[in-house]
């Protein structure tokens, strides 16, 4: 067990080092940072001094190690664009993205699980096959198309909800939330639905596949032979045995949703990390791009590692072997 956990952790560290190297490489191909920061009037002497201060004359490995060391302390340098702390910029945007992602996850579970059950137990019926067909469309629709259609219908035509922004927010320390104000909640609805649509179809298909699998097992047949009614077999015996993979997939996909949110945020002008990244790209703001890459990857890796480890802990065979 301990060996397994250690292996996972070492694995995670390797992945993060690779990502850090990529982020670092961005700077190498991006051109001279001094040119980016310096203004026209700066003399060559000043430029050299700046270059030296930034450590750009050190050998490459030293620069890389310094980059990693700083990143571990949350120091990604200054934004080229407005001379703000990069980490501060990201922290400011982080709550917006997280609220969007968490609400989208919630929606995908609340809608996806019942749909999965329905399509599994109604297999062969018209409504189940219809839903199954719709889910194929759901998987293949690009999320910006969904977003634009939602805006068109609900904001432009019906005028029910705002088409951009986050509404009013309330601050708790560094965390700002839109969940407590009516306008904040209204603004969240469309982006969250748009972001969750793909996830709903994933969960629905996973639950369906797992349910069909579990319904074939002996213990389900035996439960039928014991005279347990159908609904109890579906919702108590079968569903329970399906939830484990659903929970793990959901946890792993939070990382993917944060990354996907980039598109949704752009479509809905949602002031999250994804928007920050897109702006950074347009302004060639390399420190922000690098920081985004590293932080998103970090969230990914942490979630995956936690899921792997919890899987091992929950597996009863490993549990009783301890």
Partner 1 sequence: MNVLEVRDLRVEFPTHRGVLTALDNVSLSIRPGEILGVVGESGAGKSMTGLAVQGLLEPPGRIASGSVTLNGRRIDTLSDREMTRIRGREIGAIFQDPLTSLNPLFTVGAQLVETIRQHLPMSASAARARAVELLAEVGIPAPSERVDHYPHQFSGGMRQRVVIALALAARPSLIIADEPTTALDVSIQAQITALLRRLCAEHGSAVMLVTHDMGVIAETADRVAVMYAGRLIEIGEVAQVTRDPQHPYTQGLMGSIPALGARVPRLEQIDGSMPRLNAIPPGCAFNPRCPQAGPRCRRERPELFTAGAEKAACWLLEGGTA
**Dihedral (Cα; 316, 318, 320, 321), 10-degree rounding:** 160
Kindly state the smallest distance separating residue 132's Cβ from partner 1, in Å. Answer: 19
Q: CB of 222: closest distance to partner 1 in angstroms?
A: 4
Taking the complex as a whole, the smallest distance from the CB of residue 112 to partner 1 amounts, in Å, to 21
| Contact residues for 49 (Cβ-Cβ < 8 A; gap 6+) | none
The answer to whether residue 125 forms part of the interface with partner 1 (CB under 8 A) is no
CB closer to partner 1 out of 103 and 233: 233
We find the least distance from the C-beta atom of residue 136 to partner 1, in angstroms, to be: 25
Closer to partner 1 by CB, 142 or 229: give it. Answer: 229
State which residue, 158 or 225, has the beta carbon closest to partner 1.
Answer: 225
- Number of residues engaging partner 1 in binding (CB under 8 A): 20
CB 190 within 8 A of CB 151: yes
The strand pairing partners of 177, in sequence order, are 170
Q: Does 241 bind partner 1 (CB under 8 A)?
A: yes
Q: Binders of partner 1 among 291-320, rule CB under 8 A?
A: 316-317, 320
| Of 84 and 217, CB closest to partner 1 | 217
227 binds partner 1 (CB under 8 A): yes
**Cα–Cα separations (whole angstroms), residue 134 to 137, 198, 201, 205, 274:** 5, 11, 9, 11, 28
Q: How far is the CB of 110 from partner 1 (least distance, A)?
A: 22
Q: Which ranges constitute the DSSP H helices of the chain? A: 2-29, 33-37, 44-53, 60-72, 86-121, 126-140, 143-150, 182-215, 218-225, 230-232, 239-268, 273-282, 286-314, 316-321
Q: How many CA atoms lie within 13 A of 148 on its CB side?
A: 6
Among 46, 130, 240, 281, indicate the residue that binds partner 1 (CB under 8 A). 240
Are 79 and 89 in contact by the 8 Å Cβ rule? The answer is yes
Choose which of 41, 140, 225, 322 interacts with partner 1 (CB under 8 A). Answer: 225
User: Between residues 60 and 225, which has the closer beta carbon with respect to partner 1?
Assistant: 225
Query: Is residue 230 near partner 1 by the rule CB under 8 A?
Result: yes
- From the list 2-10, 198-206, 213-221, 255-263, the region that binds partner 1 by CB under 8 A is 213-221
| Residue with smaller CB distance to partner 1, 87 or 238 | 238
Residue in 4, 8, 77 with CA at minimum distance from that of residue 37: 77
Cβ at position 235, least distance to partner 1 in Å:
13
Q: Contact between 222 and partner 1 (CB under 8 A)?
A: yes
Contacting range for partner 1; rule: CB under 8 A; set: 45-53, 153-161, 218-226, 267-275: 218-226
Burial of 16-31, coded b for 16+ CB within 10 Å and e otherwise, reads: beebbeebbeebeebe
CA–CA separation, 86 and 79 (whole Å) = 5
| Cα distance between residue 109 and residue 130, in whole Å | 20
Using CB under 8 A, which of the segments 13-21, 160-168, 203-211, 221-229 binds partner 1?
221-229
Nearer to partner 1, 233 or 275 (CB): 233
Q: 290-301: string of b/e by CB count within 10 Å (b at 16+)?
A: bbbbbbbbbbbb
Say whether residue 221 binds partner 1 (CB under 8 A).
Answer: yes
User: Is 223 one of the binding residues for partner 1 (CB under 8 A)?
Assistant: yes
Euclidean distance between the first and final Cα of the chain, in Å?
8
Q: How far is the CB of 214 from partner 1 (least distance, A)?
A: 10
Chain contacts with partner 1 (rule: CB under 8 A): 217-219, 221-230, 232, 237, 240-241, 316-317, 320
């Amino acid at each position: 067990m301990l060996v397994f956990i250690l292996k996972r952790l070492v694995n995670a560290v390797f992945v993060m080092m690779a990502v850090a190297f990529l982020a670092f490489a961005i700077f190498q191909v991006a051109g001279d940072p001094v040119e980016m920061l310096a203004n026209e009037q700066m003399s060559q002497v000043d430029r050299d001094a700046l270059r030296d201060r930034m450590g750009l004359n050190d050998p490459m490995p030293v620069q890389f190690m310094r980059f990693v060391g700083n990143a571990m302390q949350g120091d990604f340098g200054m934004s080229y664009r407005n001379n703000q702390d990069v980490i501060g910029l990201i922290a400011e945007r982080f709550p917006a993205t997280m609220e969007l992602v968490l609400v989208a996850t919630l929606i995908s579970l609340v809608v996806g699980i019942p749909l999965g059950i329905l399509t599994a137990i109604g297999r062969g019926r018209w409504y189940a096959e219809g839903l199954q067909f719709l889910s194929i469309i759901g998987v293949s629709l690009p999320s910006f198309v969904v977003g634009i259609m939602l805006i068109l219908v609900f904001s432009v035509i019906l005028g029910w909800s705002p088409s951009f922004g986050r509404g009013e927010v309330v601050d708790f320390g560094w965390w700002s939330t839109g969940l407590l104000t009516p306008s904040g909640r209204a603004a969240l609805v469309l982006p969250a639905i748009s972001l969750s649509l793909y996830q709903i179809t994933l969960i629905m298909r996973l639950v369906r596949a797992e349910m069909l699998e579990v319904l074939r097992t002996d213990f389900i047949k035996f439960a039928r032979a014991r005279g347990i009614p159908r609904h109890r077999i579906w919702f108590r015996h079968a569903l329970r045995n399906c939830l484990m993979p659903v929970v793990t997939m959901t946890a792993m996909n939070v990382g993917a949703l944060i990354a996907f949110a980039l598109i949704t945020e752009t479509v809905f002008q949602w002031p999250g990390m994804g928007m920050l990244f897109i702006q950074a790209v347009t302004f060639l703001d390399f420190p922000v791009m690098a920081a985004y890459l590293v932080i998103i990857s970090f969230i990914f890796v942490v979630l995956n590692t936690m899921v792997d480890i919890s899987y091992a802990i929950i597996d009863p065979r490993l549990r009783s072997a301890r």
